Amino acid sequence: MKKIIFLLLLSLATWNILYAQSGLPVIIGSIKNVKKVNHGFAAKMENARALITCYSPTIIRIRIDQKELEDDFSYAVVQQPSSDFREIKETKEAWILTTDSLYLEITKNPFLIRILNSGKQVISEDYEKFPYSWLGTEACCYKKLFPDEKFLGLGEKTGNLNKRGNKYENWNSDVPAYATNFDPLYQTIPFYIGIHDRVTYGIFFDNTYRTKFNFGASTDEQFMSFSASGGEMNYYFFGASTVAGVIRDYTWLTGRMPMPPVWSLGYQQCRWSYYPESEVIKLAESFREKQIPCDMIYLDIDYMDSYKIFTWNKERFPQPESMIRKLNAMGFHLATIVDPGIKIDKDYFAYNEGLSNKYFVTYPGGENYTGSVWPGRCHFPDFTRAAVRKWWGESFTRLTEPGVEGFWNDMNEPSAWGQSIPDFLQFDNDGHKSSMAAAHNVYGLNMARGTFEGTKSLLKGKRPFVLTRAGYAGIQRYSAVWTGDNEATDDHMLLSARMVCGLGLSGVSFAGPDLGGFIGNPSRELYARWLSLGVYTPFFRNHSAWDTKSKEPWSFGRDIENLSKELISQRYRLMPYIYSGFYTSVQTGLPVARALAINFTYDEKTWWLNYQDEYLFGDNLLVAPVSCNQDFARVYLPEGGWYRLSSGEFYQGKQEVTVDAPLNDLPVFARASGFLPMQSVVQSTSEKPHDTLNLHIYSGDKAAAFLYYEDDGLTYEFEHNTFFKREFRFDPANKLIILGNTEGTYNSAFNKVKLILHGFHGISMVKTDGRVLPLVPDSSSQQSVVLPFTKNEIRIQY
């Protein structure tokens, strides 16, 4: 009998192998046995193993592979399971795993997962006709597509906000002048959010190989799928009941951005390339002479000697240190570009160090891989090795010593001329040896990580600013992201708003495009319009290619210069609001630029193609991007009330409106019941604003709160309680405005607060601290009163 069973099993196994070799898929099969393990449940199927782990009541991890699961390793995930299933029980047909929020049914034959919320509503389920399967090394998961299902996320993607009906691929690619429907681009963030039947969920497929997502493209509306060309079927399921909750959980798992230096939130001027030193100084002086605020200047590749990383071209920049000192004295911070390619040159220290320490990526035989980039023939550091990241990080001393504080990581997809680096190159993968097929998509992440960790340590207590083109899930922990080599067209400008929101939905809050377009020459109108959108974009940088016309704010005639000055000044007026918004994002993972689908998920109109570019900038501003030659715009205002920022005009929400949209007035609206803390215009964040915080409050019928935050903007002293944080509360039912008690030991930059009330009709005074204070009418819809900005709670009765 035993022999028969043995022969039967053997023939089954052989059949499977033959089946796999036949080019047909291998299907997971039914559950053979299960085991309860720490934080979870392990199952063995006919053709695979699975491990289901509870990370939190709303986060479940699912790992499936044909072979024994390998050592657990991830570049994205920074958390461990923090809770357990409340109950695991068996029924005749299934295993049931429950948490406080979720209910998982795992059918035995075949292995299929269905996830329900605590109200027993199905949130997500495997597609029964196609269980987990493998085609060669490609692992695939199919999920049922719900009739009304919508999809958000995947980071930096072109196309519509709602990804339904489309397919996407993740393979970090250098794609200059990418078309507005091109895929894939520079970043890989295999995380999406699904919404159907008034439920939400998220899935993060933590697999660094080339991944594919099919959101119901050519599938007869039956299923969606995701797959990877190698590696495990390894995904995290997020079952929070709101889009914001899913983002919060995803950024808990993969980490949130660190508090950026405040100067990186100002206006940034870049070009390929500003040189020599005299031109850089002249550029800085021009900003100051013209009184156009600016915080950062960038040096592109031409500052280096023969494009050798960590070197200076001595003719163009004979004394970087004194140049940077001059820039700093004028209130500028300098960023320089670094690329991964290390020039093959026996007189170059980085080449020699890399060579002797075996820091470079190799062919399978051990020979260093060679590819050509700007410097000519290069070797490439293996950033997936801790020792290499450390070396790379320490090498920045040649930039930090003279005073560079911003580090722009480019070409890190990685890119080499020809764009086709062989997949069989060898990587350390932090001890989990792998090939380019697995390391490619995390190359940029690890370069940015080496850069961030190294420069953070070199700057001795000052916050570095890192910018990257390529990345993987979790990149927000190290770097801001810009959306690569776009073009000077209206379509690219509008797409950039969606891409920034897409990155924000996927954990990357600090993002923005090259304003004005990198390739090509924008018209005066496009330049101005894009700059006005940039004011309300987390990352605010003007950049352009070497063969384009000048794009400094004064390059388009006097009227555009004046307009640009006004627009950039507005960014600086908003700085207290923006800095607080970044703080909130650091705390919660909620993006600074938020697709309306986050707050107004079930309002169909926010998904309409003509309104999908609109977003919230921070809690209280709604931005409606408009192409450059439009004088009017059709805007959708979601639920609530909205005040046009420029005029104070009030609009009831949940309606489409046609509004003026002249070049000097992008449609931006303040939310009713919202606070907007602002300051006087400064020329850079290093200049102190006037000592009065201009606190705008927009009347509304809903109670609301705003988290206000300040610190020195430069160091990590905030980790030692040196910050100034308080909650502003608006309580219309009791006609109260409360500036809550202050937390932290930092002294605010402001001694006074000017409450600027919008739309509070029929009120002529306020009472505070037993005193009656008259309101001064500033305009027909706006009144104000100035109070001391003391640390203790301030209650204002109106």
Q: How far is the CB of 400 from ligand GLC (least distance, A)?
A: 20
Active-site position among 232, 382, 413, 613: 413
Contacts of 267 (CB under 8 A, 6+ apart): 292, 293, 294, 295, 296, 534, 540, 541, 542, 568, 571, 572
Residue 698's CB is within 10 A of a number of other CB atoms, namely 28
Comparing CB distances to ligand GLC, the nearer of 176 and 318 is 176
| 668-671: strand order across its sheet | 593-595, 615-617, 621-623, 668-671, 641-644, 650-652
Contact 342, 324 (CB under 8 A): no
C-beta closer to ligand GLC: residue 270 or 739: 270
CB closer to ligand GLC, 226 vs 274: 274
- 386-416: b or e for each residue (b if 16 or more CB lie within 10 Å)? eebbebbbebbebbbebbbbbbbbbbbbbbb
Q: Residue 282 burial by CB count (10 A; 0-12/13-18/19+): exposed, middle or buried?
A: exposed
Q: At 691, which amino acid appears? A: D
Residue 310 beta carbon to ligand GLC: minimum distance, rounded to whole angstroms: 15
Amino acid identity at 412: N
Q: Between residues 161 and 334, which has the closer beta carbon with respect to ligand GLC?
A: 334
Distance separating alpha carbons of residues 104 and 97, to the nearest angstrom = 5
Alpha-carbon gap, residue 565 to 288, rounded angstroms: 11
State in angstroms the smallest separation of the CB of 73 from ligand GLC.
30
Interface with ligand GLC (CB under 6 A): 176, 272, 300-301, 337, 410, 469, 484-485, 543
Q: How far is the CB of 545 from ligand GLC (least distance, A)?
A: 6
CA distances from 600 to 244, 498, 603, 652 (A): 11, 16, 5, 15
| Nearer CB in complex with ligand GLC: 485/710 | 485
Active-site annotation holds for 156: no
Closest approach, Cβ 332 to ligand GLC, in A, equals 19
Per the annotation, the verdict on 65 as an active-site residue is: no
From 295, 485, 614, 710, active-site residue: 485
Which residue's CB is nearer to ligand GLC, number 273 or number 630?
273
Nearest-5° Cα angle at 726, 724 to 727: 160
CB of 504 to ligand GLC, least distance (A): 21
Minimum distance, C-beta of residue 505 to ligand GLC, in the bound complex (Å)? 23
Q: Which phi and psi (to 5°) does residue 120 adopt?
A: 65, 30
128, two tokens: 């029964």
**Least CB distance to ligand GLC at residue 299 (A):** 10
How distant is the alpha carbon of residue 282 from its chain centre?
34
- 451 within 8 A of 478, measured Cβ to Cβ: yes
DSSP state of 126: B
CB of 441 vs ligand GLC, minimal distance in Å: 18
CB of 65 or CB of 413, closer to ligand GLC: 413
797, 796, 649, 673: which is closest to 730 by C-alpha? 673
Q: Which is nearer to ligand GLC, 335 or 473 (CB)?
A: 335
Task: Produce one character per residue of 293-319: b if its CB has 16 or more CB atoms within 10 Å, e if not.
Answer: bbbbbbbbbbbbbebbbbbbbeebbee
Nearer to ligand GLC, 155 or 194 (CB): 155
Question: Nearest distance from residue 173's CB to ligand GLC, in Å?
Answer: 12
Contact 293, 572 (CB under 8 A): yes
- The residue of the chain with the least Cβ separation from ligand GLC equals 272
Nearer to ligand GLC, 444 or 641 (CB): 444
Question: 346, exposed or middle or buried, with CB in 10 Å at 0-12, 13-18, 19+?
Answer: exposed
Kindly tell me which of 60 and 299 has the beta carbon lying closer to ligand GLC: 299
Minimum Å gap between C-beta 296 and ligand GLC is 15
Q: What is the DSSP letter of 360?
A: B
Q: How many whole angstroms separate alpha carbon 726 and alpha carbon 710?
A: 9
**CB-wise, 385 or 469, nearer to ligand GLC?**
469
Q: Which of 410, 428, 490, 614 is catalytic?
A: 410
**CB-wise, 453 or 485, nearer to ligand GLC?**
485
Strands 112-117 and 122-125: antiparallel
- The closest alpha carbon to 581, from 296, 252, 262, belongs to 262
| Burial of 83 per CB tally in 10 Å (0-12, 13-18, 19+) | middle
Nearest-approach distance from CB 513 to ligand GLC, in angstroms: 11
Phi, psi values for residue 682, rounded to 5°? -125, 160
Read off the tokens for 78.
């920074």
Taking alpha carbons only, the member of 500, 364, 379, 489 closest to residue 437 is 364
Exposure string of 434-443, with b = 16+ CB inside 10 Å and e = fewer, is: bbbbbbbbbb
SS3 28: coil
Tell me the CB-side half-sphere exposure of residue 441, using CA atoms within 13 A: 26
Whether 701 is catalytic = no
Quote the CA–CA distance of 298 and 263 in Å, as a whole number: 13
Is the previous residue joined to 777 through a cis bond, with omega within 30 degrees of 0?
A: no
Question: Catalytic residue positions?
Answer: 410, 413, 485
